[in-house]
Amino acid sequence: MSENLNKLFSPVLVIEDLSDSTKTIDKYDTGKIFTLSRALGITISLPNVADVESGFFVRFVVKVAPTNGSGIGYLINVTSGDGDNLHGTVVVSEDTAGGSTSGTATDVVTFVKASAEIGDFVDLTTDGTYWYASGHASLAASLTYT
Amino acid sequence: MAQKNTNKLYSPVAVSEDITAAKTLDKYDTGKIFRLKNSDGNGYQITLPAVTAVESGWFARFVIGTPPSMFATAYTIVAPAAVIHGMAIPAGDGGGSDGASTGGTGVTTITLNFQSPIGDVATLVCDGTYYYTSIVSSGVAASTLTSP
C-alpha cells in the first residue's frame, strides 16, 4: 500500500539553483533546498522572522566551491532588520571541533571561500523568534556564524 | 491550532522499507527511509539510479538496522558515476583521524562497514547533477566515501 502511494505521490524536494550575485529569500521559499553555484560567491538575504510563518525552513548546499580569491564566499544574512537572532552549530568530518554560537546570537552564516566544499550545507529554520542553524561541513573553517 | 489540525489532516509520515539483499533503486523510491538489515552478517550493494533518471529533489535515507559483521561484506551505496559529494560526521572524537569527505571530488561509493552500529544514517539528496550526502556515524572509521 505504502509502495503504491509512494509511486502515486513520489515526494521530491524543491531545489533551486542560485548563480547570481545576490538573492533575497521570501516566505514562499519555505521548504526549498538552494544549491549555491557561483565561484565568486553570493550574498543571500533572509527575511525577518516576523515576516515568515513559524516553521519556515530552508537548506543551502554548496554546489560550486567558492574558490575564487577575489570572491566573497557565500554569505547568508539574517540581518534584515530584526537584529542578531541566529543560534546554531556546525558539525564537521575533520578531527577538530566544529562551530557553535554557544548561546550568543549571530547574524551571518558564511560558507568561507577557498575552504567550503561541494556538499557542505546548512539548514535554517525559525520559530518566529530565532533562526536555528544546523550546519554540516568537511572542514571546520568552511562554515561560520558571525 | 490550525497548524496542528493541518498536521492531523495530512499526517506526514515517511515510507519506511527494510532491505535485506542487494537492491537497485528507482525514481519512485524518493522520500523513503531504508533500513539496511541482514541475517548472515553480510552487507550488500544498494545501487542508486542515475542522476538523470530521477527528478531533481529525489531523496532517501539509509539507516543501519543490522550492522555487518567484522570481516564480512559491508553495505555499499553505489551511484552509476562519480557524482556523490559530501561528508561523514562522526559522533565521537576522531582521535586524530578525520571522518570521510569527498573534498570536492565526486565519488561513486558510500561504504558502511562493520563499525556502523544500529542507527548510523546516510542521507542523500539529488539535484539532477550530484547526489549530496551527509552521513552521521558513531565512529570515525565506520564509513568511507570512495571510487573503488
C-alpha cell at A37: 553555484
> What is the rounded average pLDDT of the residues B46-50?
98
Contact of A133 with A123, CB cutoff 8 Å: yes
Among B17, B35, B132, B143, the residue to mutate for chain A (most A Cβ within 10 A)? B132
pTM of the model: 0.92
Domain spans of chain A, in order of start: 14-145
CB contact under 8 A, B99 and A94: yes
pLDDT at A95 over 80: yes
Question: What DSSP element (H or E) covers B46?
Answer: strand B45-47
Task: Say what the pLDDT of residue B81 is.
Answer: 98
pLDDT digits over A113-144, tens only? Answer: 999 999 999 999 999 999 999 999 999 999 99
Q: Which of residues 108-127 of B touch A (CB under 8 A)?
A: 125, 127
User: How far apart (Å, rounded) are the C-alpha atoms in residues A33 and B126?
Assistant: 11
Contact of A120 with A62, CB cutoff 8 Å: yes
Strand B45-47 and strand A74-77: the pairing is unpaired
DSSP A63: S
User: How far apart (Å, rounded) are the C-alpha atoms in residues A8 and B115?
Assistant: 37
- Establish if B101 touches chain A: CB-CB under 8 angstroms: yes
Q: Using CA of residue A113, residue A116, residue A121, residue A122, what is the dihedral sign?
A: negative
pLDDT at A103 over 90: yes
Residue A135's contacts (CB-CB under 8 Å, 6 or more residues apart) are A88, A89, A90, A91, A98, A99, A109, A120, A121, A122, A123, A143
Under the banding of pLDDT at 50, 70 and 90, the label for residue B40 is very high
Task: Say what the pLDDT of residue B96 is.
Answer: 85
Contact of B85 with B106, CB cutoff 8 Å: yes
Question: What DSSP element (H or E) covers A54?
Answer: none
Strand A33-36 and strand A121-126: the pairing is unpaired
pLDDT digits over B89-103, tens only? Answer: 998 777 888 899 999
Residue A144's contacts (CB-CB under 8 Å, 6 or more residues apart) are A90, A99, A109, A110, A112
Q: Where are the alpha helices (DSSP H) in chain A?
A: 2-9
Q: What separation, in Å, do the N-terminal and C-terminal C-alpha atoms of chain A show?
A: 48
Which CATH code is given to the segment(s) B14-146? 2.60.120.640
pLDDT digits over A7-54, tens only? Answer: 677 789 999 999 999 999 999 999 999 999 999 999 999 999 999 999
CB contact under 8 A, A6 and B31: yes
3-state secondary structure (DSSP) of residue B146: strand
pLDDT at A64 over 60: yes
pLDDT at B2 over 80: no
pLDDT at B1 over 60: no
Find cell 547568508 and name the residue: A76
pLDDT digits over B5-15, tens only? Answer: 667 776 677 88
pLDDT digits over B84-136, tens only? Answer: 999 999 987 778 888 999 999 999 999 999 999 999 999 999 999 999 999 99
Chain A positions touching B16 (Cβ under 8 A) are 2
Domain spans of chain B, in order of start: 14-146
Across all residues in chain B, what is the average pLDDT? 93
Nearest to B28 among A7, A120, A136 (CB): A7
Strand A131-137 and strand A86-92: the pairing is parallel
